[in-house]
Structure 1
Amino acid sequence: MTELSLRRHRPFIAFWLARVFTASGFQMLTVAIGWHLYQLTGSVLDLGLVGLFEFLPRLLFMLHAGHVADRFERRRIAAACQGLQALVALALLLGSSTDSISRELIFVLAFLLGLARTFEMPATQALLPNVVPLALFPRAVAASAAAMQAATIIAPALGGLLYAFGAQWVYGPGVLLYVLASSLMLGLHAEGQVLRKEPANLETLLAGIRFIRSKPDVLGSISLDLFAVLLGGATALLPVFAKDILLTGPWGLGLLRSAPAVGALLMSLWLARFPIERRTGPIMFTSVAVFGVATIGFGLSTSFWLSMAILVLLGAADMISMVIRGALVQLDTPDAMRGRVSAVNGLFIGASNQLGEFESGLTAHWFGTVPSVLIGGIGTLLITGGWIRLFPTLARRDRLHQPTQQQ
């Protein structure tokens, strides 16, 4: 890479590294919090409640977060949010060191973690088009996803191994990772953001929702993710599978959490080299259907290594859908609206992940762990078929980038 090329790509490299550190910190905290809480209470419902507390800030503040991302400098917003997550990790470090962590404290810190991520997500999603040219954006989405997945492979496994020495050995590195991410964001050079000066009111806060409703392909892609992953997500139950079904320990939990990221990383690297340019709609729906089938397979498996292999496939399928959806939403949205549209998209993603964890914990509490996962996988397949009928233009969409829609 020449000096000129390096200078040109330096902002994206800084952005890429910040995403690595943030993803690593979050994944390590997630493993430690899940195992810590399950050791503390032994309740699968509590594992689901952690996801609910992380999701509540998105439900309460996501529209405000989108307005903030369009009105203020996005890199500073992201840096501040990463600083808050560093404080959450610090509180967990101090609490574990003094043996003063309770179930209620974990819920409060999960809420604060969710609050920081609520404002961070639309800022970082809307920031990427200001860092790379739009012509390279699909590749940049895949490369950025690869960064997060690479971290997601290493961090959970490392978190599970470190937890054997004590929870503080996970929370401490988490603090450092978030501080590094915040520092990189503060030093990032981004261009082209259109800052909006109008005050927050109902009209401006709802502008992102109105825009999405006017774009069937955007609405269909993000709502597909919401309902499919809401039903199909089983990551909240991994501590139960690791301990009670697959008969392993925290190291096994770390490997299980890393397995989807292995598949996602391999697929994101492939998509960065060979981006999807044709038949984007059919490919996205097929990938979601594979996600549902893999979820059912994981629920039926009683072999640790088979479960690992299925989770790798699940992660690869999810990555295809995520890259298509992420690029489609940003490319079909003008810059002045990207923060608010990303906020609504973030609400859908949060619902499918954190609220999905609550749904998994609740159904596991009612029906049992394995039936909960099977019900979720079947539900994902039903949603996929239903969305093909509800959004036929998305199901038939050929090209990802449609220049006539660019603003």
Structure 2
Amino acid sequence: MFTPRYQFPKYSNLILNDFKGHQWKALQTFTTILPQVNLMVELRDLRAPISSRNCIFEILHKKYKTPRLIVYTKGDKFLSNNSSSGNTMLTPLVNKLNELHAGKDEYIIVDGRNTKQNKHLLDIIKYKYYSEDDYPLGFRLLICGIPNVGKSTIINSLRKNYFTSTIRGERTMGGTSKFKKVAKTGDEAGVTRKTSEVIKIDDCKNGIYLFDTPGISLPKKVMTQEKFLSLSLCGSVKKNIVDPVIQADYLLYLVNLQRDRLKMFGAGSTTSIPLSNNIYEVLDKMNGNNEKQNAMNFIDSVINGSNVLFDVDSLAIDQRCYDEILNSEVAKLGGTDDFISTVLYGSSTITKSNKGSRAIGSKFKKAKMVNKIF
């Protein structure tokens, strides 16, 4: 009888840090924008609902007391692989999310490329706008999340809906208009590198506007090997950072743990994957040109052909443990006030020695603070 691995081996050559300089700058911009934002829309990947939760956004949410809506993207990854059983596959995951979010933030599951689903998201935003006071400058959103979680795709879809509805009158008058993306998209992390100016997405009341922001990676202080590999499978880590063989090994580990669940719901085929805990045995049976190519082919075939979850504990974790993990991560970053202080003053405070020597430059101060946390 086949027994899957219940613990993934440690890889000493894995670098658990993908935090970039432009992300640091974006965090500083967040502290300026959030006081004027009416709703924080945080995107997470449905395939990794725990790993794609960034404790930095929790800190910002608590500090500025900005109302928040959680949007789980990549819902299409479940429904498209097997439409007849897609809803059945989602049922246990939705039940778990209901439990984890009970009494806390509201959430919605979307496919960022689906116009109808994004219109539903906009309807929720409008409802929140109508439920609040009248804002003279309009209702303002901040779209945030980890890298490559689908922020720009959703923004372009929302903007396209608005563009289509507003130019209908122009077309009847003989004018021609062409939609242009307002946010760059790509299948790789780090496409958006700076916070956008306000983007209008609806004429409701005084207008609905949003800020697009770069994806923010998790700090190395709260990163684990399993979380990093889960994010790499989501596409939230640059492709050249993780060896594809290690990625394939982790994916095999996940598939073996979830075989019974996948078979139960009949969603996606894992029968072609050998019953083995040895990734090299699996790769040897593939027809690629080399080991790394076989690993990449294996990853693509499994991700596109099955409904595997990238978080081991997605369906097993309870709300208490879910909250404890988050609180522990916030504490590792020094707590809310200390973290915000580091973001605000780490690159601008000038520190002088007691002996009156020259001040430490802001660049040195910034590097010191970034290395301390990230």
TM-score range, shorter chain: under 0.3
User: 1 or 2, which has the higher strand percentage?
Assistant: 2
Q: TM-score, length-normalised on structure 1? A: 0.26
Identify the structure with bigger relative contact order (alpha carbons < 8 Å, sequence gap 6+). Answer: 1
User: 1 or 2, which has the higher helix percentage?
Assistant: 1
